[in-house]
């Protein structure tokens, strides 16, 4: 089973700043099968990034994904108030399709 | 518009079997590429993937819960059903279903695309 470890657990930043979230896999993950989701309190997760770097429909271009092998990252170039949420990475290229434990992005 | 909606009991007793239904609209389960997964989230905790069903009816399960889970679909009713046996208080969680719009052949197996549409979730509490 591939374990995904996200860091940091909590990230405190101000609107307008740049956020970089990390997702490290215990085994190599094909880039085609690495996704990022955003979850706000009381809501279902929303797909942000798939294929490690492709933005899902309707996702603003301030969100970008990168990485390969075992190290992936999600970058939010200029934080807006609506971006403060919990972010999860997921790999779906090896069953079971595991999620990371999440990074909480909070307002500083 | 593509939507998924979970339904099932709000409260189950320990050792009972949970049956959850995901009713989809805006797409067909008989579509040759689409699949549906179930994912859960205990209060205040992370997401946990449970099971997936491909359009071919092939299934994949969480390794740790495999013995307790069954996923199947009723295409005529546009429903995907998950059953989980021997429920325990640690299974208290919000249960989500989510759509995968495609699948790929990789490393001698089939794997779903990312989950692009999610249901709103249904909270299940396990308590006597």
- Token pair, residue A5, equals 């470890």
| pLDDT confidence tier of residue B30, bands split at 50, 70 and 90 | confident
**Measured between alpha carbons, how far is B97 from B121 in angstroms, rounded to an integer?**
7
Q: Reply yes or no on whether the pLDDT at B110 is more than 90.
A: no
**Measured between alpha carbons, how far is B66 from B7 in angstroms, rounded to an integer?**
21
Chain B residues in contact with A4 (beta carbon < 8 A): none
Cα B2 to the center of its chain, rounded Å? 16
**Measured between alpha carbons, how far is B88 from B4 in angstroms, rounded to an integer?**
26
Closest-CA distance, A102 to chain B, in angstroms, reads 6
Q: Reply yes or no on whether the pLDDT at B19 is more than 90.
A: yes
B41-98 pLDDT per residue, tens: 999 999 999 999 999 899 999 999 999 999 999 999 999 999 999 999 999 999 999 9
* Tally of CB atoms within 10 A around B11: 12
Cα atoms in the 13 Å half-sphere on the side-chain side of B121: 19
**A92 neighbors A35 (Cβ within 8 angstroms):** yes
**How many angstroms separate the first and last alpha carbons of chain B?**
39
**Measured between alpha carbons, how far is A57 from B97 in angstroms, rounded to an integer?**
19
Task: Quote the pLDDT of residue B43.
Answer: 97
Task: Quote the pLDDT of residue B75.
Answer: 93
Q: Is B47 on the interface with A (CB under 8 A)?
A: yes
Chain B residues in contact with A98 (beta carbon < 8 A): 49
Chain B residues in contact with A93 (beta carbon < 8 A): 106-107, 111
- Token pair, residue A92, equals 């779906």
């Amino acid at each position: 089973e591939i374990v995904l470890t996200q860091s940091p657990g909590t990230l405190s930043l101000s609107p307008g700043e740049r956020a970089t979230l990390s997702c490290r896999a215990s085994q190599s993950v094909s880039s085609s099968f690495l996704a990022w989701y955003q979850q706000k309190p009381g809501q279902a997760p929303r797909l942000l990034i798939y294929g490690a770097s492709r933005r899902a429909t309707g996702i603003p271009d301030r969100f970008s994904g990168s990485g390969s092998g075992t190290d992936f990252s999600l970058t939010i170039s200029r934080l807006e108030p609506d971006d403060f949420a919990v972010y999860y990475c997921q790999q779906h290229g090896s069953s079971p399709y595991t999620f990371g434990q999440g990074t909480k992005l909070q307002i500083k | 518009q593509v939507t998924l909606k979970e339904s099932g009991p709000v409260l189950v007793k320990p050792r009972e079997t949970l049956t959850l239904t995901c009713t989809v609209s805006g797409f067909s389960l008989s579509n040759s590429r689409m699949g549906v997964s179930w994912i859960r989230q205990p209060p205040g905790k992370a997401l946990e993937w449970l099971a997936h069903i491909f359009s071919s009816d092939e299934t994949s399960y969480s390794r740790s819960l495999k013995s307790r889970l069954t996923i199947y679909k009723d295409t005529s009713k546009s429903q995907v059903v998950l059953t989980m046996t021997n429920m325990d208080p640690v299974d208290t969680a919000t249960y989500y279903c989510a759509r995968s719009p495609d699948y790929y052949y990789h490393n001698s197996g089939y794997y779903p695309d990312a989950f692009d549409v999610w249901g709103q979730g249904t909270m299940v509490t396990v308590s006597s």
